[in-house]
Amino acid sequence: MIFSCFSLPLLRFMASKHSLNAPEFLIFIFFTATLASAQLSSTFYDNSCPSAFRIIQSTVREAVYKEKRMGASLLRLHFHDCFVNGCDGSILLDDTPSFTGEKTAGPNNNSLRGFDVVDSIKANVEASCTQVVSCADILAIAARDSVVALGGPSWTVQLGRRDATTASFSQANTDIPSPTSDLSTLISTFSKKGLSTTDMVSLSGAHTIGQARCTTFRSRIYNESNINSSLSSTEQNNCPLSDGDDNLSPLDAGSPNYFDNCYYKNLLSKRGLLHSDQQLYNGGSTDSQVSTYAVNPSKF
């Protein structure tokens, strides 16, 4: 059964392992998995910068209030940072004579947004606590606060990351999941980061907010058969075959600015905008998990 996503109450999506009732939801692991050897703590700045959380939350709220899409952009910025050498802030580094940064890699170039918001957050934090809070931690907290600003839940952020002094252009090109990936490739890509298939399906639910560029879904709306005819027709009007690469469409047309489980409901009716999205519900091993999240918000 497919449910409308236009007037549903907001549903819980992210939580810490300490407060989560559904043990299969492990999104917090993504933020710390590649830093397992570090001694992270939710109280890391309690003495050195007790105002950090308030400052970051306030700046994020202001940015999202001005532009709802910014919430998804800040969440995505953290995701792309974490998928290359861990959550170390390397995504923020500009090119230097000794290395090419990650900003211009294929998955990021002319796509990642929110750097100006991070700059504002950093400036505000520095005004209160000079050279204390890492940019990597700012990204992690801002991602959480962005979800909250869009009606999602809060969760405990583990802190104490050190900022990277170098970046990896090549790994950004090879490691970040592609919107054209098939299910087997998605499973393999996440597995290399220590994340299970269950984690991958859960993390993909972040596409319940935000927008995608025409160039990332053009092939799907013109060439694929496992797509709702109404969706493909509508999107073709916005994304022509030979123009409009940067035209935007919501990943979840029903509630693009709210954190809910409509992303999964869309997949049940073949309304996944990206090829990689619909792969999660396409007769494969992840169908049951998608179905569970679509009809059982508490599991999601």
Question: Residue ranges for the binding site for substrate?
Answer: 177
Question: Residue ranges for the binding site?
Answer: 81, 84, 86, 88, 90, 102, 177, 207-208, 252, 260
No. of helices (H) and no. of strands (E), the chain = 13, 2
**Among the listed residues 208, 214, 218, 217, the one whose alpha carbon sits nearest the alpha carbon of residue 263:** 208
Question: Residue ranges for the binding site for heme b?
Answer: 207
Q: Please give the C-alpha separations between residue 26 and each of 23, 87, 103, 273, in angstroms, as whole numbers.
A: 7, 16, 28, 24
Q: Please give the C-alpha separations between residue 91 and each of 81, 84, 150, 274, in angstroms, as whole numbers.
A: 5, 8, 24, 24
Identify the bridge partners of residue 145 per DSSP, sorted by sequence position.
Answer: none
Among candidate residues 18, 78, 80, 275, the one labeled active-site is 80
| Integer-rounded Cα radius of gyration of the chain | 19
Proportion of the chain in helix, strand, coil states, percent, rounded to 5? 45, 5, 50
Token digits of residue 200:
């991958």
In the residue annotation, 18 being an active-site residue is answered as: no
Token digits of residue 277:
């999205």
The CA distance from 278 to 219, in Å, is 13
Alpha helices for the chain (secondary structure H)? 27-32, 52-66, 69-82, 115-128, 135-149, 169-175, 183-191, 197-204, 214-223, 229-238, 262-268, 275-278, 287-295
The CA distance from 280 to 200, in Å, is 9
Q: Which residues are catalytic?
A: 80
